[in-house]
């Protein structure tokens, strides 16, 4: 028996598509819904700024679990948004998320009208999320449920390990799922890790940096890494689970 607790977990558990990044939390939600026979499939959002092997990793995980997966691309461009507003820091995370993931969810809404999405966000991940995480949210007119919102990180890791979860390579190199490298919540050492492990991503970032106006206050990727983080709120926490 995979799950010691089969009361997954809440009346919010309804048939849904899982917002799937390949990280432990989205895997846990997909497996939980599958065990309840409520998993409709997985949905992965292509931001245009991810680790190169992210898509293949998602495909491999879903294939191993026999989960159908669909990819939806943002209708905007990371490069265009950065050139207009500058590279994002913690305070601009909501803006960049709206362009990269919000636009993709609009496509989901058009393709799957009335669909309910499930997120791996959890209240106990941090004090900040305990204040903002809800069992049911709404983003871009789409209902998003958080079936495991009251589970602990320890519970999630025990659950996914027993379910046979294998961490994507980006977990070992960057400590995140790698679906979005916008840089809003970059750590001080993250740029160096990208430069070493993913030189093609580094080259893309450098190219954009060189095109920024001289003296622009946000002309460098990850410029806010040493600043106090306000944390993600509302839809930010629900849609971008693994990037902080």
Mean pLDDT within 91-113: 95
Dihedrals phi, psi of 148, to nearest 5 degrees:
-110, 25
How does pLDDT run across 130-169, given as a tens digit for each residue?
A: 445 678 889 999 999 999 988 999 999 999 999 999 988 9
Q: Does domain 16-228 have CATH number 3.40.50.720?
A: no
Percentage above 90 pLDDT, the chain? 73
Amino acid 233: pLDDT: 61
Amino acid 26: pLDDT: 95
Question: Mapping DSSP to helix (H, G, I), strand (E, B) and coil, where does residue 69 land?
Answer: strand
pLDDT band for 237, please (50, 70, 90 cuts). confident
Q: Is the confidence at residue 234, as pLDDT, over 70?
A: no
Domain residue extents for the chain: 16-228
Separation between Cα atoms, residue 231 and residue 90, nearest integer Å: 7
Amino acid 135: pLDDT: 82
How does pLDDT run across 21-34, given as a tens digit for each residue?
A: 999 999 999 999 99
Mean pLDDT within 90-100: 94
How does pLDDT run across 78-91, given as a tens digit for each residue?
A: 999 999 999 999 99
Mean pLDDT within 203-228: 91
Which residues have CB under 8 Å from 59's CB, separation 6+? 69
**Residues 40, 73, 92, CA angle at the centre, nearest 5°?**
110
Q: Is 22 exposed, middle or buried (0-12, 13-18, 19+ CB in 10 A)?
A: buried
């Amino acid at each position: 028996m995979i799950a010691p607790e089969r009361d997954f977990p809440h009346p919010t558990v309804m048939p849904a598509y899982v917002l799937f990044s390949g990280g432990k939390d989205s895997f846990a939600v997909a497996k939980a819904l599958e065990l309840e026979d409520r998993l409709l499939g997985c949905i992965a959002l292509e931001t245009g700024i991810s680790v190169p092997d992210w898509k293949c990793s998602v495909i491999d995980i879903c294939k191993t679990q026999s989960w159908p997966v669909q990819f939806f691309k943002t209708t905007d461009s990371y490069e265009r948004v950065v050139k207009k507003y500058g590279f994002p820091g913690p305070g601009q995370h909501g803006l960049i998320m709206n362009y990269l993931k919000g636009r993709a969810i609009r496509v989901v809404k058009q393709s799957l009208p009335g669909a309910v999405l499930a997120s791996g966000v959890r209240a106990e991940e941090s004090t900040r999320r305990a204040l903002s995480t809800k069992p049911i949210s709404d983003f871009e007119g789409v209902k998003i449920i958080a079936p495991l919102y009251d589970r602990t990180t320890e519970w999630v890791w025990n659950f996914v390990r027993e379910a046979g979860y294998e961490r994507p390579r980006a977990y070992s190199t960057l400590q995140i799922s790698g679906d979005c490298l916008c840089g809003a919540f970059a750590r001080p050492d993250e740029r160096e890790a990208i430069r070493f492990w993913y030189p093609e991503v580094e080259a893309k970032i450098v190219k954009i940096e060189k095109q920024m106006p001289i003296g622009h206050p946000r002309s460098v990727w990850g410029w806010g890494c040493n600043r106090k983080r306000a944390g993600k709120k509302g839809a930010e926490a629900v849609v971008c689970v693994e990037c902080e």
